[in-house]
Structure 1
Amino acid sequence: MLQPFKQPYIVNSIKTIDNLVKRYGNSHLKEIDLTHSQTNVIIFLHQERHRQVQQRDIERALNLTNPTVSVLLSRLEEKGFIRRTTHQKDNRSRIIELTEKVDPIVQEIYEHVNSIEEMLFEGLEEAEVRVLSDTLRKIALNAEKL
């Protein structure tokens, strides 16, 4: 017997939130010549600055395809925010690192992300945010199994 169609409200809500955050982010990041997706790469590289990061690390961490990351990196390189250098042990591999141009804006990027989170979590108690964060982390891990 067929199960009745069940509207995927939670998945749709997550997608809607993602779309709205990207739209808001893109509109507010224009002044520093970045997109929401580009700032995700910058944040990842900033958090991982203690090690050598390759493109595939970014693809895995942000769950993006190779072509998508290639375009993001090309644009960030054109804007002078990153540089790609040849890996010392593997000439075919490139190390991606932030340039000094990011230094004056990295704090602004983090503040932007924090302000979005503050808006999204308005009216929620700290305990609710903690539970939500833990739950979404578990859902993301389940999604990786798809």
Structure 2
Amino acid sequence: MLSHATMGMYITMIHNQFKEQLNRSVEQLDLTTSQIHILFYLKNNENREVIQKDIEERFNLSNPTVTGIIKRLETKGFIERSVSSKDARSKKITMTEKSYKANEEMKKAMHEANEHLLQGISEEELGILEGCFKRMLHNLEG
């Protein structure tokens, strides 16, 4: 049985291995896992204006961390920043044609990484695992 003392260690190890595998899968796109997550977030929220603060809150990341990711995505041509219609002090972040074109490859890489991660785990086990993860996340947020 898994001890309480090693739970965090396993979660960290799984996260690191998953991230490493996904990074290898998308290196031909010149993207990282963190950048992909932000692009997926932008795609899923393309019907509303997204500013940097939204990304910081969604991913629980600091301003400097998100600033770096956003700058690199912009330099690589995956996003554009423009003045927000809600707040002139903020920049609206939108996907470019390049990121829309890369979307299918990103989804394929994410799907393959998830398939590899969940290999041999039943639907019932996945349901239990999801419930446990949600509870753990709730515990840490409160």
TM-score scaled by structure 2?
A: 0.92
* Higher relative contact order structure (alpha carbons within 8 Å, sequence separation ≥ 6): 2
Distance apart, 1:70 and its partner CA: 0.3
Q: 1:102 aligns with which of 99, 111, 126?
A: 99
Q: Aligned-pair RMSD on alpha carbons?
A: 1.3
Q: Distance in 2 between matches of 1:128 and 1:73?
A: 36
Distance apart, 1:63 and its partner CA: 1.3
Task: Confirm whether residue 9 of structure 1 aligns to residue 11 of structure 2.
Answer: no
Q: 2:24 aligns with which of 27, 32, 35?
A: 27
Q: Which residue of structure 2 lines up, in the alignment, with residue 113 of structure 1?
A: 110
Point out the structure with max Rg over C-alpha: 1
Q: Distance in 1 between matches of 2:86 and 2:56?
A: 21
Q: Distance in 2 between matches of 1:83 and 1:36?
A: 19
User: What do the CA deviations read for 1:54-106 (whole angstroms, capped 9, x no partner)?
Assistant: 11110111111111000000000000100111012421011111111112210
Structure 2 counterparts to residues 66-145 of structure 1, below 5 A: 66-145=63-142
Residue type of the partner of 1:25?
L
User: What do the CA deviations read for 1:6-31 (whole angstroms, capped 9, x no partner)?
Assistant: 76211110000111111112222110
Residue type of the partner of 2:108?
E
Q: Which residue of structure 2 lines up, in the alignment, with residue 45 of structure 1?
A: 42
Residue type of the partner of 2:92?
I
Q: Which runs of 5+ in 2 are unaligned?
A: none
Does the 8 Å contact 2:50/2:94 carry over to 1? yes
Q: Distance in 1 between matches of 2:63 and 2:117?
A: 30
Q: Which runs of 5+ in 1 are unaligned?
A: 1-5
Q: Which residue of structure 2 lines up, in the alignment, with residue 3 of structure 1?
A: none
Task: Confirm whether residue 65 of structure 1 aligns to residue 32 of structure 2.
Answer: no
Q: Give the % identical residues.
A: 34
Moved more, 120-129 or 65-74: 120-129
